[in-house]
Amino acid sequence: MKRAGLVVAAWGAVLILHSIVLFIWVGVAYSSMLLLASGLASVVAGLAVAWRASSPRRRALADVSLPAVLLALGVFTASGGLVAGRWLTVLGAGIMVVAAAGLIRESLAMRREARG
């Protein structure tokens, strides 16, 4: 289970190798930096997944989550500030806070349920 993360890390390592070739070719440039950044991120993510021990614990499966939908609406509203002005972004942020509270309440309920 843990070793699967190494696939991602290996993939990232190949990207880093490619970026080294680019660094030799063009030096420090947008292209070489982009590829290096992507490769590093993949290696770190892959190692992180491989490191964490898998925990076959009881999990609660959320069937329905209204706060998650509300959070999406909040982000959407906030993005409308780009067109309508800062007030809409603030409103959206407010909706997101309410949604986040709902999500936390759900998480606590699910944890209680899973503990049985």
Partner 1 sequence: MTVAVLPGRGVIGWAAAADHKVVALRLTVAAAIFMLAGGAMALVMRAELAQPGLQVTSTETYNELFTTHGSSMIYLVMIPLALALGAYLVPLQIGAADLVAPRLNLFASWLLVLGGISIYGGFLTAHGAATAGWTEFLPLSDDTFSPGPGTDMWVAGVGLANLAEILLAGTILLTILTRRAPGMTMLRLPVFTWATLVTCLLTVFGFPALEVALGLIVAARHFGAEVNPVAYLHLFWFFGHPAVYVMFFPFLGAVAEVVQVFSGRRLVGYNALVLALLGFATGSMTVWAHHMFTTGQVPNEYFAITSTSLLVFAGIEYFDMTATMWRGVVRMALPMLFAIAFLAQFVIGGVTGVITASPVLDYHLNDSYFVVGHFHYTLFAGSMFALFAGVYYWFPKVTGRFLGDRMGRVHFWLLVLGTNLTFFPMFVLGYLGMTRRVADYPDQPGLDWLNLISSAGAAVTGVAMLVFLWNVLVSLTGGEPAGDDPWGGHTLEWATTSPPPRHNFDSLPPVRSFAPLLDLREERTL
Gap between the Cα atoms of 95 and 73, Å rounded: 8
Q: Which is nearer to partner 1, 1 or 90 (CB)?
A: 1
Q: Which is nearer to partner 1, 28 or 73 (CB)?
A: 73
Check residue 100 for interaction with partner 1 (CB under 8 A). no
User: What DSSP element (H or E) covers 39?
Assistant: helix 30-51
Q: Which is nearer to partner 1, 66 or 97 (CB)?
A: 66
Gap between the Cα atoms of 113 and 62, Å rounded: 11
Gap between the Cα atoms of 105 and 66, Å rounded: 12
Cα distances (angstroms) measured from residue 64 to each of 60, 68, 69, 93: 12, 9, 10, 23
Q: Which of 38, 41, 1 is nearest to 18 (CA)?
A: 38
Check residue 21 for interaction with partner 1 (CB under 8 A). yes
Q: 56-85 mask for partner 1 (x: CB under 8 A)?
A: xxxxxxxxxxxxxx-xxx-xx--xx-xx--
Residues that bind partner 1 (CB under 8 A): 1, 3-5, 7-8, 11-12, 14-15, 18, 21-22, 25-26, 30-31, 34-35, 38, 41-42, 45, 49, 54, 56-69, 71-73, 75-76, 79-80, 82-83, 103, 106, 109-110, 113-114
